[in-house]
Every structure is written in structure tokens, then in C-alpha cells.
Amino acid sequence: MPEQKRVQLPPAGALVVDGGRKDRVGEFRGVSGPYWSLRPVGGGPEWEAVPEHVRLATAGERLSALNAEQNARSRGAL
């Protein structure tokens, strides 16, 4: 059986990028079995991600995600 790579848990609320979902940015919510629970920035339904596909968001990715959330709020979309 192949050895699984251990991935360090990010702090709750950290913005992360899910490479398994076209680099979707989400907020780390916790662990659900073998998966990590992520939530879209600004709210919405959570999704499960494979930990090996998730990394911390860069400063630019965090800024872009937060800016997109604020723009959506100003348009009344959230």
C-alpha cells in the first residue's frame, strides 16, 4: 500500500486554494473524515477537498478573493 503524504492542518478560517477544484479559494473550516471542509469566501455551501490538493493562499490570492467578495456585496449579490 502506498504511503500517504502528511499535510499540515491550516488554522481555522485560513484562506486556502483547492487545486482539485480549479484553484478555488475557500476558508478552511475543519476536518470531515479524510477530507477538509472548505467554505467559499463570503459564505455559501461548504465543499470537501482532498488535503493533498490544498495549499495556503498567497497574499495576492487572499487579496483577490476578499476583493471579489466585497464587490459582490456592493452589487447586492451576497
Does any domain span residue 25? Answer: yes
CB atoms within 10 A of CB 78: 14
- Strands 35-40, 54-56: pairing is unpaired
Query: What does the pLDDT look like over 59-68, one tens digit per residue?
Result: 999 999 999 9
pTM: predicted TM-score of the whole model, two decimal places: 0.84
55 assigned to some structural domain: yes
Local confidence pLDDT in tens for the 78 residues of the chain? 455 567 789 999 999 999 999 999 999 999 999 999 999 998 899 999 999 999 999 999 999 999 999 998 998 876
- CA distances to 3, 4, 47, 53 from 25, rounded to whole Å, are 28, 24, 11, 12
Euclidean distance between CA atoms 73 and 78, whole angstroms: 5
In a domain, 51, yes or no: yes
Which residues constitute the domain of residue 30? 15-75
Q: Which three cell numbers stand for residue 45?
A: 455551501
| Residue 65 CB neighbours (<10 A) | 20
